[in-house]
Structure 1
């Protein structure tokens, strides 16, 4: 049994074929325990897949010439699917060699790149909502980026980069984030309210950290949205808010004077250490 997949390596700005002689198992485990059994073959997107790519992979997998010719058709088909359909992943696991010397794909997985959905209307026809986390489906309706995680500190942030940094600093202080949540730069009160509802639907959440940079939106507008949403949702867990940007002092003043149990913080470090201490 073998493993084959196509992914994009953003650091090298190339597509990559991942191949292994250890198919039918978790490829992450193979990479960690026996990395010598894993081959990463880069492909220049300008020239595409070439015959020498196939020969390299066939040699690495220990295939003979007739078997490599069969592999050629499979790899070209996978590559065409990966590029033409704007996929994030095309995976065959396992790829098997039968007793009759035939190479066959027994199972496959395809992930589409959501950023290309605007030019692939057929994506929606293949969508099966039963395969997704219900909270993530709800988030899409509200144009919120949401991924459920296994921690106990809910995160409400604007901007994907800031959201990642927020999760990192929570982990740095010894806790685990319960979600990735990006409400975007121009979030409405309704979106913030829905974000709180999604966070609180997770029974593991013991506290919430709101980390907002007021660039497009002013901090007082954001504070008003947080206060309105907090009142409507009736938050029972500790809520720590860190604001930065235009009208930040006014925004903090509004939060303090709201009468709600909201703890404000000036820096990300202070916000993270505070929310971790409250759980």
Structure 2
């Protein structure tokens, strides 16, 4: 079968679900991932034929896309901070907004001369701490998560990408218990977190590919206490940041002022609420006294 015929089938089956541009993106991503074919291949070879085995791979992906399976779960990889991360159903797929948070940290510390100690709370795939470790010379980076399955993914990314992050299994909601890991019993220059923040009432705004395929543990919080993870992170940070240390959080766009108040009540100073590329309040930074 000719590759352009397969592309036409993709559009016929998927355009109504995703739109033409998104389907084009999926198709070219798949042929690059599986066959190392550049997206302009059909312009150069419009009658290119593919093998039966290649057809099978593409049509399997087509079936999964019709079921709203994320393209990153189909390929098993997600691109973040110029790195390819392994992802699966046990971790959130890294978002561009989270990359903005990481770049904020990197911009802030580019003039720092000393080695930094950094903790990521609720690491998932490890995209935040690994990206920081790869970009900061001599930084000592730690990361925690409550999910053993997520930590398997994070540790594999750490190995594959040649990073040196120390991962710890811990629950950010109970870090003051006697089970707290010894690696966390220290002071940090930076604490960063993208904890669960989507309220149950906001599910209606979300796509099925997120609700059905990404871990609820890492996404949702109860409507009656939507900031419980932020309270825990801020409480921990208030005791474990060095003087003038920085706390960076990705936040629910609808709860920016409420999150800011949590930092204010814990005596953080110079608190900055920052919008993401779409103009939504998505990040907050506070400096410890």
Please say which structure displays the higher CA radius of gyration. Answer: 1
Normalising TM by the smaller chain, what interval?
0.3 to 0.5
Of structures 1 and 2, the one with the larger relative CO (CA 8 A, separation 6+) is 2
TM-score by length of 2: 0.34
When normalised by structure 1's length, the TM-score is: 0.35
Higher strand share: 1
